[in-house]
A and B are shown apart, each in its own frame.
Chain A
Amino acid sequence: GQQLNQSPQSMFIQEGEDVSMNCTSSSIFNTWLWYKQDPGEGPVLLIALYKAGELTSNGRLTAQFGITRKDSFLNISASIPSDVGIYFCAGQLYNFNKFYFGSGTKLNVKP
């Protein structure tokens, strides 16, 4: 299947710091999604991106659809303890019916 390279694999940060993570692929994607998953629960959709260059915010979260259409970025500003969890990117290839998921970035926030 498709490879989505998500980095970093894990992060340990102090409360109040900003966070950046990204997802890259060798293929061109039509849509990028960002999800957050808490332990033992299903992923929850954070942001959806549909156009190259698009920049979309959801509260303290901002995501961008890379201009090459092969990558996407998620930033979290002023992190708080409830930001702890695993963040997944997902991309959809043009004319395909399914999404491919990255392996996740595990975020730990120290109060």
Chain B
Amino acid sequence: DGGITQSPKYLFRKEGQNVTLSCEQNLNHDAMYWYRQDPGQGLRLIYYSQIVNDFQKGDIAEGYSVSREKKESFPLTVTSAQKNPTAFYLCASSPGRGQPQHFGDGTRLSIL
């Protein structure tokens, strides 16, 4: 089945550690996105990529980094510079600009 796969489902980070969240899609979508969701809040855009080897900062990019080396993959690294990383992270993809986004099932990141 086509879809978006995020892994792991739960992730724990120690202080000062970088962690990488995986996002893979087999929908042949050009655009991919990373959002952060905090309790009682809407989704906030971290980074997005319209095509391979290109990405742009969203509204809350500080402390995060991404890469887009392959069309189907858009990993997100939460660096030690992100002081409040505990959140639910959602990856999405869309066929292109302005097209509805489809989401993965998320990764919940917690601090040890």
Contact = CB atoms under 8 A, between A and B. Distances in A.
Q: Do A and B come from one complex?
A: yes
A67 interface: no
B100 A4 contact: no
Given A97-B48, A98-B48, A45 B43 contact: no
Nearest to B58: A98
Interface residues of A, number: 24
A59 interface: no
For the residues of B in contact with A, the DSSP-based class is strand
Contacts of B4: 42
B37 to A, nearest CB: 9
B42 interface: yes
B38 to A, nearest CB: 10
Interface in B14-57: 31, 33, 35, 40-45, 48, 50, 56
